[in-house]
Chains A and B, each alone.
Chain A
Amino acid sequence: MQITGELIDYVADLSRLQLTQEEKEKAETDLGSILTYIDKLNELDTTGVEPMSHAFPVKNVFREDEVAPSAQRDVLLQNAPVKQDGCFKVPKTVE
């Protein structure tokens, strides 16, 4: 797998990250060597193998729909970096 500067920019954008020039170069080298190593998996024939998300069978877990107190507003807001009038404060989201 050939890692290019454009690919790093694309993946950084998907990740909502902005890299410095130095970080970009390091990421190119590191992801390059990691992905080259990962290509080792191609040695294995996986035709017809069912992909396994969970090691043990998991099924949906249901519970009774009982009314219970939810968390308090001020408790949920206690870690907000910026808040106002009992709300999370965000920059303008629509033009």
Chain B
Amino acid sequence: MKYLDVSALSLGERLKKREIGVREVTQAALSRIAKKDGEYRAYLSVFQEEALAQADAVQKQLDAGEAVSPLAGVPMALKDNICVKDLPTTCGSKMLERFCPPYDATVTNRLREAGAVMLGKLNMDEFAMGSTNETSYFGACKNPWDTGRVPGGSSGGAAAAVAAGEAYYTLGSDTGGSIRQPCSFCGVTGIKPTYGTVSRYGLVAYASSLDQIGPIARDAKDLAAVLDVIVGKDERDATSVTAGENRYLSSLTGEVKGLKVGIPSDYFGEGLEEEVKEKVLAAARKLEEMGATVEEFPMPMVEYAIPAYYIIASAEATSNLSRYDGIKYGFRAEKFDDLIDLYIQSRSQGFGMEVKRRIMLGNFVLSSGYYDAYYKKALQVKALIKGEFDRAFERFDLLLGPAAPTTALKLGESLSDPLKMYLGDIYTVSVNLAGLPGLVAPCGFDAQGLPVGMQLIGKPFGETVLLNAAHAYQLATDYHEKRPQEGGEGR
């Protein structure tokens, strides 16, 4: 199927010109999922019938000239913590194995209005807690570049599906790097928008002050088109921000002349793999060749971001996950003594170990006697981190660094040691703490042929600057066009 490996926008254009039908491309995508996803496990559920019905409905709109979105009819998929009415939303957890939300998330609704065809729901770490997709109750998703390796997490399925050509674009969520790190591992492009840019209504909550939905696609231009659809104030999310008309796609110029790029030298210190460092610095040089100015500067707070993040995120998770009680929805234990025991048994059997660990950590840092030493301290450190970014953005338009210290890890490598897994989030979590936008795009491959990603960090609501810089870079390079060979294992 020659249309299967083009960008979302390019497919949308061909659908509009009637070079191909929506049902045909939807069927082709479903066939590819059926054929290949047994190996990757990017999908937790596939909406075969619903997708084909949507395809036919969008085709009618296209035929009548009513479908105006450039993404109308393009098959996509959602991370399994984003609600789709009456279809499974498991969050990768036994707790929500049978949960079918009675409503659509705001992003789901906006995508429907734009004529999206929804293929299914994507694998993820349980309740988005994890950096490898291995904490999923339903089994790990595999990296399409090497099925012996993890796709990253928590939006592992969302990145793997795009890399494997099993969806033209996907939506993930990012609380501490959960869109950006898997994009780096899977060689795809993704963005975590500024906090408040995309409504969180219908996103199952993990850490509400940090969670943000964002798109993953094959290139930055596609990301801009998806943001045009999903960004906007929503009265159902009080933290969503008023924005004007969305003009992400039409603002792209592909020009970076005069762009001031800052390289935080502390993002290139100990722990960063040499090959990752080389590729990211090569990308900086490329932008310089294209007319940007590039300058190194210190950002010493980076090493304090992980401890502050894990305190704040766990504290919020503790509160958010207290709703799972075995009564209103979710898993309920069969045997229990009384009401309190019903809570205890349902939660102990319904949650996996990583989720339990974060709930306990959160309860600990919030408990009396420890609150000031941990939680309050973390919120103060968050203020210091935000201040450091504010000062950097007085000088620079964007910051460029790695997204993760390594390329994709082998399956099982970090599962036994949670602290080691947490340390892999070093370059991503501070962006969430400061509420900033962060974009990851592929910028090369290591000696084993695994993708390396670079991260662009922007000012609040500076998505357009990031998208444009990535777009310009992608016009001048072809890393984003590389696709994994089928059946690659053992790199």
| B308 engages A31 (CB within 8 Å) | no
**Mask: chain A, 39-81; 1 = CB below 8 Å from B; 0 = not:** 1111110100111111110101101000000010001101111
| B339 engages A93 (CB within 8 Å) | yes
| B422 engages A34 (CB within 8 Å) | yes
Q: A18-B348, A30-B418, A50-B383 are in contact. Are A61 and B238 (CB under 8 A)?
A: yes
- B→A interface (CB under 8 Å): 98-102, 195-196, 209, 235, 238-239, 241, 303-304, 306-308, 310-311, 318, 322, 326-332, 336, 338-340, 342-345, 347-348, 351, 353, 356-357, 359-361, 363-364, 367, 374, 376-384, 386, 418-419, 422, 433-436, 460
Q: A16-B340, A63-B235 are in contact. Are A44 and B381 (CB under 8 A)?
A: yes
Chain B residues within an 8 Å CB radius of A23: 353, 356
| A31 engages B383 (CB within 8 Å) | no
Asked if A33 CB lies within 8 Å of chain B CBs, one says yes
Chain A residues within an 8 Å CB radius of B311: 38
| B100 engages A79 (CB within 8 Å) | yes
| B360 engages A15 (CB within 8 Å) | yes
Cα distance, A7 to B342, chains bound together (Å): 23
The dominant DSSP class at the B interface is helix
| B339 engages A16 (CB within 8 Å) | no
Chain B residues within an 8 Å CB radius of A35: 364
Cα distance, A75 to B407, chains bound together (Å): 45
10 sampled A-B residue pairs with Cβ under 8 A? A16-B343, A37-B307, A37-B419, A39-B307, A41-B307, A46-B384, A56-B241, A80-B328, A81-B329, A82-B332
| B209 engages A79 (CB within 8 Å) | no
Cα distance, A39 to B241, chains bound together (Å): 35
CB distance from B285 to the nearest CB of A (A): 31
Sort A-B residue pairs by CB-CB distance and give the 7 closest, nearest first.
A55-B435, A51-B379, A79-B329, A81-B332, A52-B383, A46-B380, A49-B380
Chain A residues within an 8 Å CB radius of B322: 16
Q: A78-B102, A90-B339 are in contact. Are A17 and B356 (CB under 8 A)?
A: yes
Cα distance, A58 to B436, chains bound together (Å): 15
- Count A-B contacts at CB 8 Å: 155
Cα distance, A51 to B384, chains bound together (Å): 9
Chain B residues within an 8 Å CB radius of A53: 209, 379
Cα distance, A7 to B361, chains bound together (Å): 11
CB distance from A1 to the nearest CB of B (A): 9
Band of interface residues on A: 35 or more
Chain A residues within an 8 Å CB radius of B100: 78-79
| A17 engages B360 (CB within 8 Å) | yes
Closest to B303 in A: A40
Q: A15-B347, A54-B239 are in contact. List 4 more A-B contacts (CB 8 A).
A: A51-B382, A55-B195, A79-B98, A79-B329
| B377 engages A41 (CB within 8 Å) | yes
The dominant DSSP class at the A interface is loop
CB distance from B101 to the nearest CB of A (A): 8
| B348 engages A17 (CB within 8 Å) | yes
Chain B residues within an 8 Å CB radius of A81: 326-327, 329-332
Select which of A11, A30, A58, A91 is within 8 A of B336 by beta carbon. Answer: A91
Select which of B102, B307, B435 is within 8 A of A75 by beta carbon. Answer: B102
Cα distance, A34 to B308, chains bound together (Å): 12
| B328 engages A44 (CB within 8 Å) | no
| B209 engages A54 (CB within 8 Å) | yes
Cα distance, A34 to B307, chains bound together (Å): 8
Select which of B331, B332, B361, B434 is within 8 A of A31 by beta carbon. Answer: B361
Chain B residues within an 8 Å CB radius of A26: 353
Closest to B345 in A: A18
**Mask: chain A, 1-31; 1 = CB below 8 Å from B; 0 = not:** 0000001101110111111000100110011
Closest to A78 in B: B102
Closest to A50 in B: B383
Chain A residues within an 8 Å CB radius of B196: 56
| A44 engages B360 (CB within 8 Å) | no
Closest to B210 in A: A55
Cα distance, A77 to B299, chains bound together (Å): 51
CB distance from B326 to the nearest CB of A (A): 7
| A88 engages B339 (CB within 8 Å) | no
| A91 engages B339 (CB within 8 Å) | yes
CB distance from B373 to the nearest CB of A (A): 8
Cα distance, A58 to B241, chains bound together (Å): 10
